[in-house]
Structure 1
Amino acid sequence: MDFQPQKYLKNESGQNGFTLLELIVVMVIMSIVMAVLLPRLSEQLMGNTLRAAASDLGAIATSARFRAADTGKQHVVVINSESGELKLLSGDKGEILSLTSLPAKVAVEGMELLGKSVPGYEMRIIFYPRGTATPARIKLVSEKQEIMHLIVAGADGGVYAR
């Protein structure tokens, strides 16, 4: 008896492929998996958005610190809580060196300068050539009410996130 496996399985009509029922079952299984995973992924992405916003703000502040030390002139970081704009200005000419915005799902809900709440919607943090800065604290809040604080230390001009 000679047994040779068939290369292709054929259904009764003699055509290859999947039945409509098989395709529907696979689509239902995929829908269930996506329904379970999507809420978890969106939470993860929201946390990443908040961290990315803090990283952007920290990068601009760090750039201001190094530029001030390099050029011997103060540089200013301007944070607009209303529009979410972040600007880096050269201190001597007020020229815009960098301009970016926070993600739409992240808001600035609190700004302190020299330990006092900043009135209005714009805050200016000055970075001096000797490596110091105006002490500041910025509260970033995501759409899901996650909170991150950015602190600019006056003594060393360092930027720290909590």
Structure 2
Amino acid sequence: MSKQPAKDSRYERAQSGFTLLELIVVMVIMSVVMAVLLPRLSGQLMGNSLQAAVSDLSSIATSARFRAADTGKEHVLVISRKTGDLKLLSGNRSKVLSSTQLPEKVAVGNMELLGKTVSGPEMQIVFYPRGTASPARLKLVSEKRESMHVFVAGANGGVYVR
């Protein structure tokens, strides 16, 4: 019969977890890393909100173009400078088919419709069944003064971003 050496219970207890000092050191390191990375990440998120706003606007305008061609009726895209609302209305403008809002940190800048500056609170772009649209130009501006332009071509109803 072989004898096994007795285990020291103090040794097992000491090896079963982390010390308070080790946990504090890890928390300090994580805090420093977050303090360095957070401002950079928030800057990237700002650019993403502008990109998301342009994407939303483009997709609703494209949807209006295709719905007009599909149904044979005009569809209207309403853009509100005040509230940042984007609404797609049916041909008779009685029904809201789609609605979304621009991100809080993105504002509507210059608006032009049919080559004239729109000074009012909203702009209505009409998409016709034959694939054309009211020519329009719109500028979206982020909180950091970054901007992107969205164009709706009158001849083919296409939506272009610059």
Q: TM-score, normalised by structure 2?
A: 0.89
Report what 2:78 is aligned to. Answer: 78
User: How far off its partner does 1:36 sit?
Assistant: 1.1
Quote the Cα distance in structure 2 between the aligned partners of 1:155 and 1:36. Answer: 50
Quote the Cα distance in structure 1 between the aligned partners of 2:36 and 2:144. Answer: 19
User: How far off its partner does 1:94 sit?
Assistant: 3.0
Report what 2:140 is aligned to. Answer: 140
Report what 1:24 is aligned to. Answer: 24
The 1:15–1:134 alpha-carbon spacing in structure 2 relative to 1, beyond 3 Å, is same
Report what 2:64 is aligned to. Answer: 64
Could you tell me which runs of 5 or more consecutive residues in structure 1 were left unpaired when the two chains were aligned.
1-5
Identity level (%)? 71
* Mapped contact 2:76–2:93 kept (Cα < 8 A): no
User: How far off its partner does 1:16 sit?
Assistant: 2.7
Matches within 5 A, 1:78-157: 78-157=78-157
User: How far off its partner does 1:81 sit?
Assistant: 0.6
The 1:91–1:15 alpha-carbon spacing in structure 2 relative to 1, beyond 3 Å, is same
**Which piece of structure 1 moves more, 14-23 or 78-87?**
14-23
CA RMSD, 1 decimal: 2.0
Quote the Cα distance in structure 2 between the aligned partners of 1:64 and 1:160. Answer: 14
Residues 11-47 of structure 1 show CA distances to partners (whole Å, capped at 9, x for unaligned) of 8x74632222111111111111111111111111111
Q: Which residue identity lines up with residue 28 of structure 1 in the other structure?
A: V
Q: Which residue identity lines up with residue 149 of structure 1 in the other structure?
A: H
Residues 113-158 of structure 1 show CA distances to partners (whole Å, capped at 9, x for unaligned) of 1121102111000001110111111110111111011111111101
User: How far off its partner does 1:93 sit?
Assistant: 4.7
Quote the Cα distance in structure 2 between the aligned partners of 1:129 and 1:27. Answer: 61
Quote the Cα distance in structure 1 between the aligned partners of 2:155 and 2:60. Answer: 18
Report what 1:34 is aligned to. Answer: 34
Matches within 5 A, 1:4-19: 10=11, 14=14, 16-19=16-19
Q: TM-score, normalised by structure 1?
A: 0.89
Deviating above 4 A after TM superposition, structure 1's stretches of 4 or more consecutive aligned residues are none
